């Protein structure tokens, strides 16, 4: 009797009398049905939760490694911060305050006179340009002298203890083989706490007005 003949004679109400092959097939089918049902009814959510937990574990591991590296390098970072603060302090010392600005302008004038140059114009701009923590003051300069003296004057200005830059340089021929130097000597000064606070208030007010115009 083959398997088909056995299935025809199987009594569903008496599984104990089923042939071995039929019992085995029914058991396999039952197990498969239970596994599929279990997956869709319960295991699928657990599997997704497991994958999410694994991702969170990986994220936590990376965060731990990053913080561990930062902790190991904490002393180095503190040293670098101290060096940056010292460098910033050195640079700020090269920016005069209000009381020192007049003395700086005198130094620029002396640098030209010391090279035998003749000043035809030395005019500080009436209005400063305010930046985040410093102000720019352009000074219009026109001097007359020979080539070497003008070059030496530019070098002297660059070597002043305070920061001064020469911009918009224009050199034209003058009388008696002299040259005329037209330039803008830009000096800088740092803002005091009150000026910084005022600048921040002005910037906040400007941003507020821009947003109001954009909204309208």
pLDDT at 180: 94
Of 6-15, 109-118, 126-135, the range with the highest mean pLDDT is 109-118
Contact between 189 and 91 under an 8 Å Cβ cutoff? The reply is no
Overall number of domains in the chain: 2
Residues 49 and 103 in one domain: no
Residues 188 and 107 in one domain: yes
**CA–CA distance, 60 with 141 (Å, rounded to integer):** 63
pLDDT at 145 over 90: yes
Residues 61 and 155 in one domain: no
Residues 26 and 59 in one domain: yes
pLDDT, tens digit, 9 for 90 and up, residues 82-119: 787 777 666 666 666 666 677 878 888 889 999 999 99
pTM of the model: 0.49
Residues 58 and 152 in one domain: no
Residue 204 lies in a domain: no
The CATH code of the domain that includes 124 is: 3.30.70.60
Residue-range definition of the domain harbouring residue 160: 95-197
Residues 99 and 161 in one domain: yes
Q: Which residues contact 120 (CB under 8 A, 6 or more apart)?
A: 142, 143, 144, 180
């Amino acid at each position: 009797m083959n398997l088909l003949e056995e299935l025809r004679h199987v009594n569903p109400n008496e599984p104990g009398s089923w042939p071995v092959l039929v019992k085995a097939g029914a058991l396999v089918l039952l197990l498969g049905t239970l596994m599929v049902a279990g997956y869709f009814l319960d295991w699928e959510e657990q599997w997704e939760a497991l994958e999410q937990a694994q991702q969170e574990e990986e994220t936590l591991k990376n965060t731990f490694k990053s913080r561990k590296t930062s902790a190991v390098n904490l002393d180095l970072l503190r040293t670098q911060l101290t060096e940056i603060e010292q460098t910033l302090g050195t640079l700020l010392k090269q920016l005069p305050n209000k009381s020192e600005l007049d003395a700086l302008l005198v130094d620029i004038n002396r640098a030209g006179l010391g090279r035998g140059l003749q000043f035809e114009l030395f005019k500080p701009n009436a209005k400063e340009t305010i930046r985040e923590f410093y102000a720019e003051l352009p000074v219009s300069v026109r001097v007359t002298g020979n080539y070497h003296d003008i070059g030496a004057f530019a070098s002297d200005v660059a070597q002043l203890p305070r920061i001064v830059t020469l911009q918009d340089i224009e050199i034209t021929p003058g009388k008696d083989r002299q040259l005329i130097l037209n330039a803008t000597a830009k000096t800088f000064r740092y803002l005091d706490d009150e000026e910084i606070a005022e600048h921040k208030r002005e910037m906040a007010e400007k941003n507020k007005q821009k947003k109001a115009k954009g909204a309208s």
